[in-house]
Structure 1
Amino acid sequence: MRALRILLIMAVVLGGIFVAADRIAVNMAESEAADKIKSSQGLNSTPEVSIKGFPFLTQVLGKELDEIDVSISGITGSAGGHTVNVTEVKAELLDVKINSSFSSATASRADGSARISYADLSKAAPKGATVSYAGPERAANGQVKLTGPLDELLEGAGIEIPGALEGLVKGRTVSTYSKVSLHAGTTVRLKAETLPSLPLPGFDEKLRELVDYDLKIDGLPSSIKLDKLEATKEGLRFSGIGTDVSLAG
């Protein structure tokens, strides 16, 4: 019985040593993978990397990792001289195969996602405009709501209002629903579906030029092309899939 207890104690101790060694190894690998992903994907900052699955060492011996989760910061969008943050930029690298020399790896599939809040969309909107949730029915059609005082919108666009017409503009609020679309995986385009009739002759087109704008996203992983867009209560959510993503640095 004493011998059995000794064997059990040794098994627990050795198991603890193995787990500790496994965690040390995975931490080192995560740091190395972060550097590889930064260089191979052309990122501006070093991402946070989490290698899933246990034990890690047996996955390495088999030269195949089930999943690597990547969180990326420092991604921004710009429109009209305004810069905003793109948040929750993530990538799930699946079925990652390591080459024979352990110098690089390739993920069979990469699922990417990102989000821009309505607050940040408003920061990139024309001066005086606010972008908000359009409600479930319109959001399902990829629409957002854009509102703002007409005089502030025109002033922000550098459009002078004749003195005789100032009374027609003062206190008037413009409200429209804009269709949001994604172009080339990096440009968010807002285009008003309809615009209210203005009491200012010839100003309708000027308003159209004002409320329709593009937001360019910079710094996304080069191999993940965002191609799906969803308008949620929290903001715009983007997603996309990459295949055969190289992690060679």
Structure 2
Amino acid sequence: MLLVGQLVLLGVGDRVAAHAAAGQMVSQIQKSQHLPNPPTVSIGGVPFLTQVATGRYRDIELGVRRIAVPTLCVDDIKVHLQGVHVPLRKAMADKLTTISIDRAVGTVRITYPDLNTFLSTEPGHLRVTPAGRALRLSAPVDVPMLGSVTAFGDLQASVTDNRLTLAPTGLGVKGLGSFQLPTGAVDTLTTTVPLTGLPMNLQLTAARTTPDGIEITAVADHLSLDTTQTGPTIHGC
């Protein structure tokens, strides 16, 4: 019976410590990344007290909602931080100014309404609509002898050189069906979406379309988050 009681106390203490550490992480990460609102933080791994004692946390899940990067609204960013180093002595003395992270693996999600808001300000007047897991486009283009027509087709999302690119495939013309558009017209429908300045210095690696939006995989290695560094705050949206 005594053993059971000790195990219960250890379990309670473990969770209390996890909650306290998560609160400190929220503050430090918000400062270092200049976020407009506190992120959500969930610390995984059991037992937790061992991680506190060693100053190395195996897996921390970070959530950031509705930020502008820089002119496009990103709806949601979820990041798994692997190997987060927080020295116990500095944390207890409230002198934690730097957090080292071995690796960050994240997913950046852009909704189609937010994407269309961004595209409305870009050349080409491109508009996108979901079709299951595919992405459809419509846009006015100028075609010799036809004048201004509405092109339609599919869009393929990809990542090249840390940039999200939306490129048309299988184009046609409204009222005429499949139609070979001039190369220049096709080029105007290829769009590069800026995603610079993501938290944690995340670098884009891959993208896919879903019924709800575009999901982009992003990673970063060997990070050092400095909470004393000043800089412009990322705006919310």
TM-score normalised to structure 2 length: 0.69
| 2:152 aligned counterpart, secondary structure | strand
AA aligned to 1:73 is R
Cα deviation, residue 121, structure 1: 2.1
Partners of 1:230 and 1:129 lie apart in 2 by 19
Q: Which residue of 1 aligns with 2:37?
A: 45
For 1:245, the equivalent position in structure 2 comes to 223
Structure 2 counterparts to residues 207-226 of structure 1, below 5 A: 211-217=189-195, 220-226=198-204
Deviations 1:197-217 (A, max 9, x none): 799xxxx79966864444333
Which AA in structure 2 matches 1:50? S
CA distance in 1, matches of 2:36, 2:197: 6
Q: Is 1:230–2:202 an aligned residue pair? A: no
Percent sequence identity over aligned pairs: 25
CA distance in 1, matches of 2:161, 2:35: 18
Return the structure number with greater helix share. Answer: 1
Give the partner amino acid of 2:63. S
Answer with 51-60 or 15-24: which moved more: 15-24
Alignment root-mean-square deviation, CA: 3.6
Once the 2 structures are TM-superposed, how far is the Cα of residue 72 of structure 1 from its aligned partner?
Answer: 0.8
Which of 97, 105, 117 is the aligned partner of 1:123? 117
Amino acid of the structure 1 residue aligned with 2:107: S
Larger Rg: 1
The 3 A distance-change label for structure 1 pair 59 and 35 is same
Shift of 1:77: 5.0
SS at match of 1:177: strand
Q: What corresponds to 1:180 in structure 2?
A: 157
Report the residue type matching 1:124 in the other structure: F
1:89-128 equivalent positions in 2, closer than 5 A: 89-99=77-87, 101-102=89-90, 103=96, 104-126=98-120
Give the AA of the match of 1:178.
Answer: L
Cα contact 1:177–1:194 (8 A) shared by 2 = yes
* Secondary structure in 2 matching 1:25: helix
Distance 1:54 1:99 in 2: 18
Structure 2: segments with no counterpart, 5+ residues: 91-95, 176-181, 228-237
Q: CA distance change for structure 1 residues 146 and 84 in 2, over 3 Å: closer, same or farther? A: same
Closer, same or farther: CA 227–146 of 1 in aligned 2, 3 Å:
same
Q: Given residue 71 of structure 1, which amino acid in structure 2 is its aligned partner?
A: G
Say which SS state the counterpart of residue 75 (structure 1) adopts.
Answer: strand
TM value normalised by structure 1: 0.66
Q: How does 1:1-249 map to 2 (within 5 A)?
A: 8=1, 10-77=2-69, 85-99=73-87, 101-102=89-90, 103=96, 104-126=98-120, 130-133=127-130, 144-147=135-138, 153=140, 173-182=150-159, 185=162, 187-193=163-169, 196=172, 211-217=189-195, 220-249=198-227
Report the more deviating stretch, 48-57 or 16-25.
16-25
Aligned residues: 210
- Contact preservation (8 Å) 1:113, 1:226: no
Asked whether the 8 Å contact 2:54–2:87 carries over to 1, the reply is no
SS in structure 2 of the partner of residue 92 of structure 1? strand
Deviations 1:78-131 (A, max 9, x none): 6xxxx6532331110112233364334322111111111233323333387531
Post-superposition CA distance 1:115-171 (Å, at most 9, x none):
1123332333338753134676xx5xxxx32125xxxx58xxxx9xxxxx9xx86xx
